[in-house]
Amino acid sequence: MDRLIEGYRRFRSEIWPSERARYEALALMGQRPETLVVACSDSRVDPQTVFGAVPGELFVLRNVAGLVPPYRPDGQAHGSSAALEFGVRVLKVRRIVVLGHARCGGVKAMVEGAPEEARDFVEPWMAIAKSALAPIPEPAPGTDLLGHYEAEIVRLSLTNLRTFPWIAASVAAGELALHGCSFDVHTGVLSRLDGTRFVAVT
């Protein structure tokens, strides 16, 4: 906690004075973010840092592997779907960005099997994405298999977003856009899904 408290003190002394008006306006008028980001819980991939965003700009949904489950209103607890519902139907965001990333532990658990300590929840959660595990036909030597499946998770999440009727309707009406991105932790490079392939942002 000492490290966190010191960080808070730096925030109060170095950031709060110049950002105070922004926070006070957000408190008074409420949040009106235009972008909802679905991202992994991984501590190395912070959407606000990657996109250089300021408070109030992003509505962020984070979970293991940044995975979007399919639409399933069955009366059970669905934290990720609840965040999507609030962002799209209440906040009226204009775009959803699915942000995958390299060296994802959730994807590794899906491909190689979850660690013994992570089988109560991580294993069944990642089973949502089992359709992304289709074998790669004749992979070239040196193929980054985890990288391939990390990209497939982004594509699957975009597909699952369209199973939510109010997302599909908003996309069809031109009120909502869906985007796929991937961040490489090692190089700091962001790539965008362009058609069927990811292209580095320059």
Same domain for 40 and 133? yes
Same domain for 78 and 24? no
pLDDT (0 to 100) of residue 152: 93
pLDDT (0 to 100) of residue 193: 96
pTM: 0.93
Same domain for 25 and 43? no
Range of the domain at 13: 1-30
Cα separation of 19 and 12, whole Å? Answer: 10
pLDDT (0 to 100) of residue 140: 66
Same domain for 57 and 152? yes
Segments in the chain below pLDDT 70: 137-140, 142-143
pLDDT (0 to 100) of residue 144: 81
Domain count, the chain: 2
Same domain for 106 and 165? yes
Tens of pLDDT along 140-194?
A: 676 688 888 999 999 999 999 999 999 999 999 999 999 999 999 999 999 999 9
Same domain for 2 and 91? no
Block residue for tokens 């999440």: 157
Structure tokens at 192: 């965008």
Angle at 157 between CA 156 and CA 160, to 5 degrees: 85
